[in-house]
Amino acid sequence: MSNNSDIRQWLFEEFSSRLATVFETMAGERPRIEVEQTPEIPPSDGTLRWRQPFSGVAGAAWITASEAAWSAAGGHVLRAAGIEENDSASLKSTYLETISQALSGVATAIGGRLGREVNCAGGEESPPTAPVTGAGWAVLRIQFGAAAANIAIGLDSVLVATMAASSQADPGPAKIAEAAVAATPVAAGGFTGPANSKTFELLLDVELPVSVSFGRAQVPLKDVLKLTTGSIIELNRSIHEPVEIIVNNCVIARGEVVVVEGNFGVRIHQVISRLERLRTLN
């Protein structure tokens, strides 16, 4: 898959898949997304347009949504987390968080395809009426149960051309990406995220670091230099408070320390709710 058209479709599909996964993670339900390519998106005063460049590769992606669309997307996530706030600022920040996470996943996929590190770099809100030249567009029709929202994504031609040239020079990553695309179910008039993709099942075997935090303390450097064998550091948690279970640097549960056959363990008492996880993002 080395020509510009195939690269463009791959990027649209990658964003669709990543966005569906983000919504599933944050709201507990994977939405249905259909994608339809379109020549252009006409400028409008009622849209929120986000420009996302990438470090390590030229070009940028453009994400455009009407106020009704980004409000619906943000509101869906907030309601799923038990938050009834519906002010414009909360809806907008929640929507941009979902977009940001999806674009970060796209950057990782681009880096894997190009064989070098690629990250999101300095995204910014762009005037909705500002012209976007040299971009290919697609409309994502997202269905959240009874609600729906349309979000458009545009790709700079230089981004597509750079990836096409790299694919021609090194077909290895292209074949990997092509296999992932082939495993994604296709719907009439577009495609959907890989809700039942076999490639997604591979993630279930990924190992993540799990650690237990008994507490934390901030100590001046002069006191750190005085530490010797037998020194005691006072933590910010009493012996009666539950310890925190951390997975990949994220607190996911709390519990009590137990001893199992001579080894320490943790009995989980509380799993962190979506509400608490969402609040940590703001």
Coil, helix or strand at residue 68: helix
Report the CATH number at residue 243: 2.30.330.10
Distances, alpha carbon 102 to alpha carbons 56, 144, 169, in Å:
18, 17, 27
Q: How much is the CA Rg of the chain, to the nearest whole Å?
A: 22
pLDDT at residue 186, as a whole number:
39
Q: What is the residue range of 234's domain?
A: 210-281
Q: How far apart are CA 170 and CA 158, in angstroms?
A: 18
Q: Assess whether 178 and 256 both reside in one domain.
A: no
Q: Assess whether 272 and 140 both reside in one domain.
A: no
What secondary structure does DSSP assign to 118-162, as a single string? -EE---EEE-TTS---SEEEEEEEEEETTEEEEEEEEEEHHHHHH
pLDDT tens for each residue of the chain, 282 residues long:
458 888 999 999 999 999 999 888 888 889 999 999 988 776 666 689 999 999 888 889 999 999 999 999 988 888 887 887 678 888 888 899 899 889 988 998 898 888 888 888 888 888 877 767 677 899 999 998 778 899 999 998 889 888 888 765 544 444 444 434 433 433 333 444 444 455 556 566 777 788 888 888 888 998 888 889 888 888 887 877 888 888 766 778 888 888 877 788 888 888 876 666 655 454
Q: Assess whether 71 and 192 both reside in one domain.
A: yes
Report the CATH number at residue 172: 3.40.1550.10
Last residue of a domain, one of 156, 173, 204: 204
E strands within 40-113?
47-55, 60-66
Q: Assess whether 234 and 196 both reside in one domain.
A: no
CA angle 133, 130, 107 (to 5 degrees): 60
Q: How far apart are CA 137 and CA 155, in angstroms?
A: 7
Q: How far apart are CA 111 and CA 167, in angstroms?
A: 12
Q: Assess whether 156 and 28 both reside in one domain.
A: yes
pLDDT digits over 79-112, tens only?
A: 887 887 678 888 888 899 899 889 988 998 898 8
pLDDT at residue 61, as a whole number:
93
